[in-house]
Chain A
Amino acid sequence: MGGKQDPTANGSPKSESMGAKKASPDLLNSSFSFKSLKLKTKQQELLLRVSILGLVYVLAFIARLFSVLRYESMIHEFDPYFNYRTTLYLTEKGFYEFWNWFDSESWYPLGRIIGGTLYPGLMVTAALIYWTLRFLRFFVHIREVCVLTAPFFASNTTIVAYFFGKEIWDTGAGLVAAALIAICPGYISRSVAGSYDNEAVAIFALLLTFYLFVKAVKTGSLSWALGSAFGYFYMVSAWGGYVFIINLVPLYVLVLLITGRYSMRLYVAYNCMYILGMLLAMQIRFVGFQHVQSGEHMGAMGVFLLMQVFYFLDWVKYQLNDTKLFQTFLRITVTSAILVGGIALGVGTASGYISPWTGRFYSLLDPTYAKDHIPIIASVSEHQPTAWSSFMFDYHILLFLFPAGLYFCFKRLSDATIFIVMYGLTSLYFAGVMVRLILVATPAVCLISAIAVSATVKNLTSLLRTKQKVPQTGSTKGVGSSKSSSKVTLDQSQPFQKNGAIALLVGVFYLLSRYAIHCTWVTSEAYSSPSIVLAARGAHGNRIIFDDYREAYYWLRQNTPTDAKVMSWWDYGYQITAMGNRTVIVDNNTWNNTHIATVGRAMSSYEDEAYDIMRSLDVNYVLVVFGGVTGYSSDDINKFLWMVRIGGGVYPVIKEPDYLVNGEFRVDKGASPKMLNCLMYKLCYYRFGELVTEYGKPTGYDRARGVEIGNKDIKLEHLEEAYTTSNWIVRIYRVKPPTNRL
Chain B
Amino acid sequence: MALVGSFSFNSFLFGVLSCTGTAFLAICLWIQVNKENKKFKDLAPKRAFADFVLSNLVFHLVIMNFFDRCPSPILNVVFMSCKNVV
Q: Which residues of A contact B (CB under 8 A)?
A: 113, 116-117, 220-223, 226, 263-265, 267-268, 271-272, 275-276, 278-280, 282-283, 285-286, 288-290, 292, 311, 355, 358-360, 376-377, 590-593
Are the CB atoms of A220 and B43 closer together than 8 Å? yes
B29 nearest in chain A by CB position: A222
Cα–Cα, bound, A222→B83 (Å): 34
Contact B51 A286 (CB under 8 A): no
What are 5 A-B contacts defined by CB distance under 8 Å? A222-B51, A268-B28, A286-B79, A289-B9, A358-B83
**Contact A275 to B20, CB < 8 A, known contacts A222-B28, A286-B79, A358-B86:** yes
- From A223, A275, A360, A376, contact of B51 by CB (8 A): A223
Is B2 in contact with chain A by the CB < 8 A criterion? no
What's the least CB distance linking A70 to chain B, in Å? 35
Q: Is B1 an interface residue (CB 8 A)?
A: no
B20 contact set on A, CB distance < 8 A: 275
Q: Are A268 and B31 in contact (CB under 8 A)?
A: yes
Chain B interface size, as a band, is: 35 or more
| Contact partners of B82 in chain A: CB under 8 A | 117, 591-592
C-alpha spacing A400/B50, complex, angstroms: 46
Q: A226-B55, A280-B62 known; A275 and B17 CB under 8 Å?
A: yes
B contact residues around A226 at 8 Å (CB): 51, 54-55, 58
CB of A588 to closest CB in B, whole Å:
12
Asked if B83 and A267 sit within 8 Å, CB to CB, the answer is no
B85-A222 in contact (CB<8A): no
State the Cβ distance, A353 to closest chain B Cβ, in Å: 11
Known: A113-B75, A280-B62. 18 other contacts (CB 8 A): A113-B78, A220-B43, A221-B47, A222-B52, A222-B55, A223-B54, A223-B55, A272-B28, A275-B21, A275-B24, A276-B21, A276-B55, A278-B17, A279-B21, A283-B62, A285-B79, A358-B84, A376-B86
Closest to A230 in B: B58
Contact A264 B59 (CB under 8 A): no
Contact string, B54-84, partner A, CB cutoff 8 A, digits 1/0? 1100110011010000110001101110111
Q: Which chain B residues lie closer than 8 Å to A265 at the CB level?
A: 39
Using a CB–CB distance below 8 Å, which chain B residues touch chain A?
Answer: 9, 13, 17, 20-21, 24-25, 27-28, 31-32, 37, 39-40, 43, 47-48, 50-52, 54-55, 58-59, 62-63, 65, 70-71, 75-76, 78-80, 82-86
Measured between alpha carbons, how far is A283 from B62 in the docked complex, in Å? 8
Contact, CB under 8 Å: A288 / B80: yes
Establish whether residues B48 and A222, one from each chain, have CB atoms under 8 Å apart when the complex forms. Answer: yes
A276 to B21: give the CA distance in the assembly, Å: 8
Q: Is there an interface contact between B52 and A264, defined as CB atoms closer than 8 Å?
A: no
Expressed in whole angstroms, the Cα–Cα distance for A428 and B65 within the complex equals 38
Q: Which residue of A lies closest to B14 (CB)?
A: A279
Per DSSP, chain A at the interface is helix
A265 to B50, alpha carbons, bound, how many Å? 17
With a CB–CB cut-off of 8 A, which chain A residues contact B13?
282, 289, 292
Q: Output the least CB separation between B30 and chain A (Å).
A: 10
Task: Tell me if B31 and A279 are in contact (CB < 8 A).
Answer: no
Closest B residue, CB atoms, query A285 = B79
Q: Are A283 and B55 in contact (CB under 8 A)?
A: no
- Of A116, A222, A267, A286, chain B has the most CB atoms within 10 Å of the CB of A222
- Taken together as a complex, chains A and B put the C-alpha atoms of A377 and B21 apart, in Å, by 38
User: How far, in angstroms, from A116 to B43 measured CA to CA in the complex?
Assistant: 43
Closest-by-CB residue of A relative to B65 is A283
Q: Which residues of B contact A113 (CB under 8 A)?
A: 75, 78-79
B80 proximity list for chain A (CB < 8 A): 288, 355
Chain A contacts for B63, CB-based, 8 A: 279
State the CA gap A376–B86 with chains docked (Å). 8
CA–CA, A590 and B76, complex, Å: 19
A526 to chain B, nearest CB (A): 29
Find B85's partner among A278, A279, A283, A591 (CB 8 Å cutoff). A591
Q: Do the beta carbons of B76 and A288 come within 8 Å of each other?
A: yes
Asked if B86 and A590 make an inter-chain contact with CB atoms under 8 angstroms apart, the answer reads yes
CB neighbours of A360 from chain B (8 A): 86
Q: Give A541 to B62 CA distance when docked, in angstroms.
A: 61
Which B residues are CB-close (under 8 A) to A285? 79
Chain B residues within an 8 Å CB radius of A280: 62
Would you call B32 and A222 a contact (CB within 8 A)?
yes
Given A222-B55, A279-B17, A279-B21, CB of A268 within 8 Å of CB of B32: yes
Residue contact B62 to A593, C-beta cutoff 8 Å: no
> Which residues in B have their C-beta under 8 angstroms from that of A268?
28, 31-32
Question: Are A276 and B31 touching (Cβ within 8 A)?
Answer: no
Identify the closest chain B residue to A283 (Cβ).
B65
B25 proximity list for chain A (CB < 8 A):
222, 272
